[in-house]
Amino acid sequence: MTDNKSYTLGEIAELLNIKLVGDQLCEIHGLGTLKYAAPGQLTFLSNPSYINQLSSTKASAVIVEEKYVNLYSGNALVSENPYVSFAGATALFATPSKVELGVHNSAHVHDSAQLAENVSIGPNVVIEEGVCIGVNTTIGAASFIGKGVILGDNGCLYNNVTLYHGVTIGRDVIIHSGAVIGADGFGFASDRGKSIKIHQLGSVEIGDDVEIGAGTTIDRGAIDNTVIEHGVKIDNQVQIGHNCVVGAHSVICGCTAIAGSVTIGKHCVMGGASGAVGHITIADKVQVSAMSLVSGSIKEAGLYSSGTGHMRTGDWKRNIVRFAQLDSITKRLKELEKKS
C-alpha cells in the first residue's frame, strides 16, 4: 500500500545510488510486477525467466542489469543487483503503521518495568516486573512480555507476541503476530516408561536486525541459551528447538523444523519445510533445498538436497516398490560380481 507518495526517476536513482537511462522528470507513484505494472509504476527484472515480459511491460521504468538495457526501449534504472535495488525502492513507498506513543490505558505495566522514550504500548499488553524496553519500540495489542525481558531500541512487536521470562532481544528487531519466544524446550528423561520433565533453565538471546515471522516458536535452552545471531531472518511457522544456535545473516524459510542443539552457521539458507535432526552442526554458507531433511552434520559450504522430485502418482508408487528392493538387488549384484 502507498500513501500517495511520488518521486521522479531522477530522485529514485539518487536515493538508490544507481544510474538512470531515460527521463529524469518521469513521475513514479508506485511499484508493480513486469506483467501487471501500469504507467506511473516502477518494476524490475532480476530473473532471466521473465525476460520475455520486458518488451511488453507497461511500467514507466524498469530496474535492470546493464546487459539488458538494450533489450528495453523505455526508462531504465541500471543496477548491479536489481532485486536489492527493488528492495530499496519498496522502502521508499512503504507506509508505516501509525502508532500512538505512550501506554494504552488497558495495558498492565509493572511498576519496576523501565520504558524508554517514544515507546508505544498497545491495548491489553502485559509487561511484567524487571522488563527493560528501548527507545522507539512498539508493542502491539495483547502481547505478553515476561519477567526480566530486555527489548532493544527500535523494536516492533506486532499483536499477540509472547516473550517468556528472561528473553534478551537486540535492537531493530521485528517480531510478527503469534510468535512465541522462550517457551520450554521439548526435554524429557525416560524412567521405566514414564517421561520426566527436564526443566528448561536457559533462555533465548536474539541479536540485532532480526525478523521473526508470524506463528514462529523459538524454545529456551535447557541449560545454555538458544541463540539467534545478528541479521537472521526467520519466516512464518518455523520451529527452533532448545539450545540451537543460528549464525548471523542466515535465512530460515517457512515451516522449517529444527530439532534441539543444532548449530547452523553464518549466511545459511534452510529452504521451506526443511528439517534438521538434533545435535548436528551445519557449516557456514550452506543452502538446504525445500522439503529436505538434514540427518547429519554438514562440514562444507554448498547446496544440499534430499527426497525425490515430484512425478505422477502411479510412477511414484512403482518407484517406491523398487526402492524397497534396492538392498536385495545390491546383494544379488555383489554375488554375481563374485562369480564373474
Please give the average pLDDT of every successive group of 10 residues along the chain, which has 340 residues: 80 98 97 97 96 95 96 96 97 88 98 98 98 98 98 98 98 98 97 97 98 98 98 98 98 98 98 98 98 98 93 94 92 89
230 in active site? no
Residues 289 and 170 in one domain: yes
Note the pLDDT of residue 69: 94
**Which one is catalytic: 104, 165, 199, 242?**
242
Residue 214 belongs to a domain: yes
The number of distinct structural domains making up the chain is: 2
Q: Is residue 32 located within the same domain as residue 150?
A: no
Cell of 250: 542466515
Query: Does residue 155 form part of some domain?
Result: yes
Q: Quick one: DSSP state of residue 160?
A: T
We report the CATH number of the domain holding residue 46 as 3.40.1390.10
> What grid cell was written down for 247?
549464525
- Give residue 99's pLDDT: 85
Same domain, 152 and 73: no
Residues 221 and 284 in one domain: yes
Terminal CA-to-CA distance of the chain, rounded, Å? 72
pLDDT for 1 equals 42
Pairing between β-strand 162-163 and β-strand 180-183 as defined by DSSP bridges = parallel
- Does residue 236 share a domain with residue 106? yes
- Cβ atoms of residues 152 and 167 within 8 Å: no
One-letter identity of residue 175: I
Show the domain range for 70: 7-93
Indicate whether 332 belongs to any domain: no
Q: Is residue 316 part of a domain?
A: no
Asked whether residue 229 falls in the same domain as residue 157, the answer is yes
47 and 15 in one domain?
yes
Does the residue 338 lie in any domain? no
Structure pTM? 0.92
